[in-house]
Structure 1
Amino acid sequence: MATTRRQRISRRGATLALGIAGGLALAGGAARAGGKTIALVPGIATDPFYITMQHGAAAEAKKLGLHLIWQGGSSFSPETQIPALQALLAKHPAALLVAPTNEKALINPIRQFIAAGIPVISVDTTISDTAILKSRITSNNVQGGASAARAIAGFAHGKGDVAVINVKPGISTTDARQKGFLAQMKHYKGMKVVAIEYDDDSPTKAFTEAQLLLLKYPHLKGIFATNVFSGEGVGKAVVAAGKKGKVDVVGYDAEPGEVKLLKQGVISTLIVQRPAEEGRLGVKYAYDILTGKSAQVPASKRLANITVTTAEASNPTYAKYFYSAHLSH
């Protein structure tokens, strides 16, 4: 089922990536014809995390009388994101919000916007040359990784082997989550991180990697899955191995598939980000920059994550942070 979902995202992405920007323009552009245009380029145009970010950005843009363009690729990669940026550059938006898919590969495309006099704010992920950005908005990913370590250590009573399944090196957010997890794990002298594997943002590969880990380390106590596809793949592998409740799975994000696994107790804990707030702040900061209030815009803003357990999954206090799969218009 993980493969089917991934294929469905890819098929939908091609049409959504091309059509969403125009649809939003029709929905709100006429009423705000005199307003400035801000572009938001997500990591993946069809991913609920970024769709939830679009909700926050669209609401703030409407409030401030701005026109929001949303345009991105169908996979989390520079190969799909850079063409989207190049197409937007020709439209010359007043400001750009972007979730870079690689710390280095996106530097030059972003510099092209800056050379054209367009201020750039990164949301979620960022680039290594942060000095060229007006602001960086993200979750406190180191804190999130540490929270994941505490959850697994609590389950294991501070003893046993654990593993990490990450996406790929070079992504600022997931690198930071792994860093926070490993640093916190050093506090538990009876625990050891025995493996770090990478799934290339594929739930199918995460499933396979988790299966191999469970075979190689039969007494494994927990696995930290650093993003949505990692969480879905790992969770399903633990079920397939008959180890639900025996191997603690802590995931990141709160997309519909993960939330289902959380409610089933397959995933015990989710570290939930606040993408709607990231989108809202991105638009607000862009507006401040465009209206001569740059001094009010922080160079860096990190939002605290929300830790949600299976027992809390149906509580509205926590459920309000779960992500949406439908765009706001």
Structure 2
Amino acid sequence: MKKQRIVALLLSLVAITGCSSSSTTTDPHRTSDTGADKPRVALIMKSLANEFFSTMATGAQEHQAAHADDYDLIVNGIKDERDLSRQVSLVDEMVANGVDAIVIAPADSKALVPVLRRAKQSGVVVINIDNRLDADVLTQEQVSIAFVGPDNQAGAKKVGDFLSAKLQKGDKVAILEGIRTSFNAQQRLKGFTAAMQEAGMEIVASQSAEWELSKANTIASSMLSEHPEIKAILAANDSMALGAIAAVKSAGREGEVQIVGFDNITAIQEAIQQGKVLATADQHGADLAVFGIEAALRLINDASAASDDIETPVDLITKENL
């Protein structure tokens, strides 16, 4: 059922542009074999050191290779999740480079809005993926940017509900949050919190580890030391879940503390198989940028087309359905 939903959404979007084959390029002057200029789409992501975003980049490159007569693709990323200034600079660089569209997973839901407004004012189509831009800041900047991505709160709620079924009412849990100015971090926190509250669990600690493995390891170790009664750690992404695994091992609590994550990266799939992680959420990173690219191409080809938000799939992943 999961694959059918993804395929159906892709087919509905791919119909916009048709299909052909060639390879991804970062050459801003490349044209098709017929000599006609092709639209150029810039994909701007967060840290490519995070497997989720490297997978996203690969999915986008494979899509462009299969639709090379339709558009060219420029792939960009930043060194880490906090490098906001570089991501802002990348937007400016892509506008100066004359791209037709920017598909962006913003590292911050607020800080990227002004530069994206300027990009739209210069005539560039902008599509927001993965991490939704802040609605209030969009209103203040008087700009509308379509969001293509999953319901992060619903995804986190699914993971939290699955975890709560393995715990006892009143058990104490901790949460490793993402960057707090990111909308997806806020939504995942809400989903985790709602699941724990509904099940009667006690959240004894909740702290941002800024999506990072090493920082999550340090913070989770501190949580386990301060609250040795913790029965579970809910990590807002899989990199932080990996940090929690290391902390639990160092504390000698393997098999006693349940861990859940979000993103379904390869290392977490292995950890689930080994029983080190209970569950994660899959927002289909390999397809997410493709959904955004297809939405951008639709607007490039028809400026009067509706620029509506598109909700993409997010699924619970456990040992039973890996």
Decide: shared fold, TM above 0.5. yes
Q: Report the AA paired with residue 275 of structure 2.
A: G
For residue 260 of structure 2, what is the aligned residue in structure 1?
250
> How far apart in 2 are the matches of 1:310 and 1:100?
31
Q: Report the AA paired with residue 225 of structure 1.
A: A
Asked whether the 8 Å contact 1:288–1:297 carries over to 2, the reply is: no
For residue 205 of structure 1, what is the aligned residue in structure 2?
215
For residue 140 of structure 1, what is the aligned residue in structure 2?
151
> How far apart in 2 are the matches of 1:255 and 1:27?
32
> How far apart in 1 are the matches of 2:304 and 2:53?
25
Asked if residue 36 in structure 1 is aligned to residue 39 in structure 2, the reply is yes
Asked if residue 50 in structure 1 is aligned to residue 50 in structure 2, the reply is no
Q: TM-score, normalised by structure 1?
A: 0.81
Segments of 5+ residues of structure 2 without an aligned counterpart are: 1-22
Q: TM-score, normalised by structure 2?
A: 0.83
Q: Deviations over 1:3-41 (max 9, x none)?
A: xxxxxxxxxxxxxxxxxxx97336994546631101110
Task: Decide which of 182, 190, 205 is 1:195's aligned counterpart.
Answer: 205
> How far apart in 1 are the matches of 2:202 and 2:51?
33
Task: Decide which of 160, 169, 173 is 1:158's aligned counterpart.
Answer: 169
For residue 194 of structure 2, what is the aligned residue in structure 1?
183
Q: Deviations over 1:68-125 (max 9, x none)?
A: 1111211112122122222212102111111111122111111220121112110101
Q: Secondary structure at the match of 1:304?
A: coil
For residue 26 of structure 2, what is the aligned residue in structure 1?
25
Identical amino acids, percent of aligned pairs:
22
In the TM superposition, residue 130 of structure 1 has moved relative to its aligned partner by: 4.2
Asked whether the 8 Å contact 2:106–2:128 carries over to 1, the reply is: yes
For residue 310 of structure 2, what is the aligned residue in structure 1?
301
Q: Report the AA paired with residue 66 of structure 1.
A: Y
Closer/same/farther in 2, CA of residues 225 and 294 from structure 1, 3 Å limit:
farther
Q: Which has the higher helix share?
A: 1
For residue 85 of structure 1, what is the aligned residue in structure 2?
91
Task: Decide which of 174, 179, 193 is 1:168's aligned counterpart.
Answer: 179
Asked whether the 8 Å contact 2:211–2:236 carries over to 1, the reply is: no
> How far apart in 2 are the matches of 1:169 and 1:235?
22
In the TM superposition, residue 171 of structure 1 has moved relative to its aligned partner by: 0.6
In the TM superposition, residue 248 of structure 1 has moved relative to its aligned partner by: 0.7
Q: Report the AA paired with residue 312 of structure 2.
A: L
Asked whether the 8 Å contact 1:25–1:68 carries over to 2, the reply is: yes
Asked whether the 8 Å contact 1:288–1:294 carries over to 2, the reply is: no
In the TM superposition, residue 303 of structure 1 has moved relative to its aligned partner by: 2.1
For residue 319 of structure 1, what is the aligned residue in structure 2?
none
In the TM superposition, residue 56 of structure 1 has moved relative to its aligned partner by: 3.4
In the TM superposition, residue 162 of structure 1 has moved relative to its aligned partner by: 0.8
1:51-130 mapped onto 2 (5 Å cutoff) = 51-61=54-64, 62-63=66-67, 65-77=70-82, 78-128=84-134, 129-130=137-138
Equivalenced residue count is: 290
In the TM superposition, residue 225 of structure 1 has moved relative to its aligned partner by: 0.3
Segments of 5+ residues of structure 1 without an aligned counterpart are: 1-21, 314-329
> How far apart in 1 are the matches of 2:251 and 2:175?
18
